[in-house]
Amino acid sequence: MDIFLIVGLGNPEKKFEKTRHNLGSRIVERFAEENNFPAFRLSKKLLSQISKGEICGKQVILAKPETHMNESGKAVKKLLSGLGLSEKNLYLVHDDIDLPLGRLKVIKNRGTAGHKGVESVVKELKTKNFVRFRIGIQPKEGKPKNLNNFVLDNFNANEEKIIKEVIKKTIKVLKIALNQGIERAMAVANARLPTKTKIEM
């Protein structure tokens, strides 16, 4: 049975839970809830909170790094080596300031665009040849001048409505990737289909 590792990037402390930079972690948590995965448990050895389950005939390991965002690569490297997995079976889920709020894009083997968490993963793995689920957080007025403050702030009420929809869509597209392959997932995500469009499972 194929084994896939889905890692949601974020910062581990409770105070960062609802921040923009924790969107990847939130999506992985929601994925676990919707698909009846067991509660996350801390693995000190793997520097992550872990939950394991089976979906679409695949064994899936969900992980939330216990490292800070800019050291995410240390946890991802430990996860892959400790679980005996290749980066080819890694799905990295993260916020992206270069995409408009609520936009989902699935890519593989592409540059980091300055995302500190992704940069750390690429640095530690010495490759960018893995799949990334990028979720846009850029406001309508464009990139804020103080990015650090912006990404560590919570979404406002209007943004939260959009985020809840994109979380649903990202979970659907993750399941498509597991069930039908990454090419199909890319086609669905990158075609900018409205969130209410029926997606084949």
Q: What is the pLDDT of residues 30-45, one digit of tens each?
A: 999 999 999 999 999 9
Q: Quick one: average pLDDT of 61-83?
A: 97
Residue pointed to by tokens 């105070």: 15
Residue 106: closest CA among 47, 174, 50: 174
Per the annotation, the verdict on 68 as an active-site residue is no
pLDDT at residue 196 is higher than 90: no
Mean pLDDT (the chain) is 92
**pLDDT (0 to 100) of residue 23:** 97
| Whether the predicted model's global pTM rises above the 0.85 cut | yes
What's the distance, Cα to Cα, between the start and end of the chain in Å?
Answer: 19
Side chain identity at residue 150, one-letter code: F
- Cα atoms in the Cβ-side hemisphere of radius 13 Å centred on 153: 14
Q: How would residue 199 be classed by pLDDT, with cut points 50, 70 and 90?
A: very low
Q: Quick one: average pLDDT of 147-156?
A: 94
**pLDDT (0 to 100) of residue 195:** 45
Catalytic residue among 21, 68, 94, 115: 21
- 199: exposed, middle or buried (C-beta count within 10 Å: 0-12, 13-18, 19+)? middle
**pLDDT (0 to 100) of residue 201:** 41
